[in-house]
Amino acid sequence: MSLLHGKVNKETSVALKESLKSGHTIGSVTIAGDALFVKKGLSCFYIKYDEAQKIFRRVRRLHANICCGDGDIEVEYLVIYANDRELMEVTLPGKKAAKMLLEEIKSKAPSLDTKAPEKPESDDENLPDKKDSDEADA
Protein backbone atom coordinates (compact mmCIF):
# COMPACT_ATOMS: atom_id res chain seq x y z
CA MET A 1 0.00 0.00 0.00
CA SER A 2 1.32 3.39 -0.93
CA LEU A 3 1.11 6.15 1.60
CA LEU A 4 -0.52 8.24 -1.11
CA HIS A 5 -3.51 5.89 -1.01
CA GLY A 6 -3.49 6.14 2.75
CA LYS A 7 -4.33 9.84 2.78
CA VAL A 8 -6.56 10.99 5.63
CA ASN A 9 -9.54 12.81 4.10
CA LYS A 10 -13.36 12.99 4.25
CA GLU A 11 -13.74 9.34 3.17
CA THR A 12 -11.42 8.05 5.92
CA SER A 13 -13.18 5.98 8.59
CA VAL A 14 -14.20 7.66 11.83
CA ALA A 15 -12.24 5.06 13.85
CA LEU A 16 -9.02 5.95 11.98
CA LYS A 17 -9.59 9.68 12.52
CA GLU A 18 -10.16 9.06 16.24
CA SER A 19 -6.99 6.98 16.34
CA LEU A 20 -5.08 9.92 14.83
CA LYS A 21 -6.48 12.30 17.47
CA SER A 22 -5.61 9.99 20.36
CA GLY A 23 -2.10 9.09 19.11
CA HIS A 24 1.25 10.37 20.40
CA THR A 25 2.96 12.90 18.12
CA ILE A 26 6.71 13.36 17.72
CA GLY A 27 7.64 15.91 15.08
CA SER A 28 5.46 15.23 12.04
CA VAL A 29 4.82 11.57 12.97
CA THR A 30 1.88 10.35 15.06
CA ILE A 31 1.95 6.87 16.57
CA ALA A 32 -1.52 5.44 17.05
CA GLY A 33 -2.84 2.04 18.12
CA ASP A 34 -2.81 0.30 14.72
CA ALA A 35 -1.36 2.85 12.29
CA LEU A 36 1.44 5.35 11.82
CA PHE A 37 0.44 8.83 10.60
CA VAL A 38 2.76 11.28 8.83
CA LYS A 39 2.01 14.95 8.17
CA LYS A 40 3.54 16.38 5.01
CA GLY A 41 2.52 19.97 4.37
CA LEU A 42 -1.26 20.20 4.62
CA SER A 43 -1.76 16.47 3.98
CA CYS A 44 -1.76 13.61 6.45
CA PHE A 45 -0.88 10.07 5.34
CA TYR A 46 -1.10 6.78 7.20
CA ILE A 47 0.06 3.19 6.97
CA LYS A 48 -1.16 0.36 9.16
CA TYR A 49 1.62 -1.51 10.95
CA ASP A 50 0.62 -4.84 9.40
CA GLU A 51 0.93 -3.34 5.88
CA ALA A 52 4.50 -2.06 6.42
CA GLN A 53 7.49 -4.33 5.85
CA LYS A 54 10.00 -2.18 7.73
CA ILE A 55 10.06 1.07 9.60
CA PHE A 56 13.56 2.09 10.58
CA ARG A 57 15.79 5.01 11.49
CA ARG A 58 18.33 6.46 9.05
CA VAL A 59 21.07 8.92 9.99
CA ARG A 60 22.79 11.07 7.39
CA ARG A 61 25.79 13.30 7.91
CA LEU A 62 25.44 16.61 6.10
CA HIS A 63 28.38 18.94 5.60
CA ALA A 64 27.72 22.45 6.89
CA ASN A 65 29.65 25.69 6.61
CA ILE A 66 29.23 27.42 9.94
CA CYS A 67 30.45 30.90 10.87
CA CYS A 68 33.35 29.50 12.91
CA GLY A 69 34.37 26.75 10.46
CA ASP A 70 33.20 23.60 8.75
CA GLY A 71 31.42 20.71 10.38
CA ASP A 72 29.06 17.84 9.89
CA ILE A 73 25.49 17.76 11.14
CA GLU A 74 23.68 14.47 11.73
CA VAL A 75 20.09 14.49 10.48
CA GLU A 76 17.66 11.78 11.63
CA TYR A 77 15.03 10.25 9.35
CA LEU A 78 12.26 7.69 9.75
CA VAL A 79 12.04 5.42 6.71
CA ILE A 80 8.81 3.60 5.86
CA TYR A 81 9.32 0.56 3.65
CA ALA A 82 6.54 -1.58 2.10
CA ASN A 83 5.90 -3.56 -1.09
CA ASP A 84 9.68 -4.05 -1.48
CA ARG A 85 10.32 -0.32 -1.86
CA GLU A 86 10.88 2.78 0.22
CA LEU A 87 7.61 4.71 0.45
CA MET A 88 8.59 7.70 2.52
CA GLU A 89 11.48 9.26 4.38
CA VAL A 90 10.43 11.64 7.15
CA THR A 91 12.80 14.14 8.79
CA LEU A 92 12.77 13.88 12.58
CA PRO A 93 13.54 16.62 15.13
CA GLY A 94 16.64 14.96 16.60
CA LYS A 95 18.43 11.87 17.88
CA LYS A 96 16.53 11.62 21.17
CA ALA A 97 13.16 11.99 19.41
CA ALA A 98 14.14 9.40 16.79
CA LYS A 99 15.06 6.83 19.44
CA MET A 100 11.85 7.47 21.39
CA LEU A 101 9.78 7.18 18.23
CA LEU A 102 11.33 3.88 17.21
CA GLU A 103 10.87 2.43 20.72
CA GLU A 104 7.22 3.43 20.70
CA ILE A 105 6.72 1.86 17.26
CA LYS A 106 8.33 -1.36 18.54
CA SER A 107 5.92 -1.42 21.48
CA LYS A 108 2.86 -0.89 19.22
CA ALA A 109 3.98 -3.41 16.55
CA PRO A 110 6.46 -5.91 18.07
CA SER A 111 6.47 -8.12 14.94
CA LEU A 112 7.47 -5.21 12.65
CA ASP A 113 11.08 -5.16 11.41
CA THR A 114 12.73 -1.98 12.73
CA LYS A 115 16.34 -2.84 11.89
CA ALA A 116 18.02 -0.74 9.21
CA PRO A 117 19.46 -2.64 6.24
CA GLU A 118 23.19 -3.32 6.22
CA LYS A 119 25.37 -0.73 4.51
CA PRO A 120 27.14 -1.92 1.36
CA GLU A 121 30.90 -2.31 1.55
CA SER A 122 32.72 0.94 0.84
CA ASP A 123 35.00 1.20 -2.19
CA ASP A 124 37.38 3.31 -0.07
CA GLU A 125 38.66 0.17 1.64
CA ASN A 126 40.10 -1.06 -1.67
CA LEU A 127 42.13 2.09 -2.24
CA PRO A 128 45.78 2.03 -1.11
CA ASP A 129 46.67 4.18 1.87
CA LYS A 130 48.56 7.41 1.26
CA LYS A 131 51.45 6.01 3.33
CA ASP A 132 51.72 2.98 1.00
CA SER A 133 51.81 5.28 -2.04
CA ASP A 134 54.58 7.40 -0.47
CA GLU A 135 56.68 4.27 0.22
CA ALA A 136 56.23 3.07 -3.36
CA ASP A 137 57.46 6.45 -4.71
CA ALA A 138 60.61 6.42 -2.53
**pTM assigned to the model:** 0.75
What's the pLDDT tens digit per position in 64-103?
Answer: 887 777 788 889 999 999 988 999 999 999 999 999 999 9
Domain boundaries, the chain: 14-115
Is residue 135 over pLDDT 90?
A: no
pLDDT band for position 116 (50/70/90)?
confident
3-state DSSP call for residue 66? strand
- Chain-centroid distance of CA 136 in Å reads 45
Position 5 scores a pLDDT of 53
CATH 2.30.29 fits 14-115, yes or no: yes
DSSP 12-61: S-HHHHHHHHHSEEETTEEE-SSEEEEEETTEEEEEEGGG-SEEEEEEEE
Q: Tell me the pLDDT band of 37, cut-offs 50, 70 and 90.
A: very high
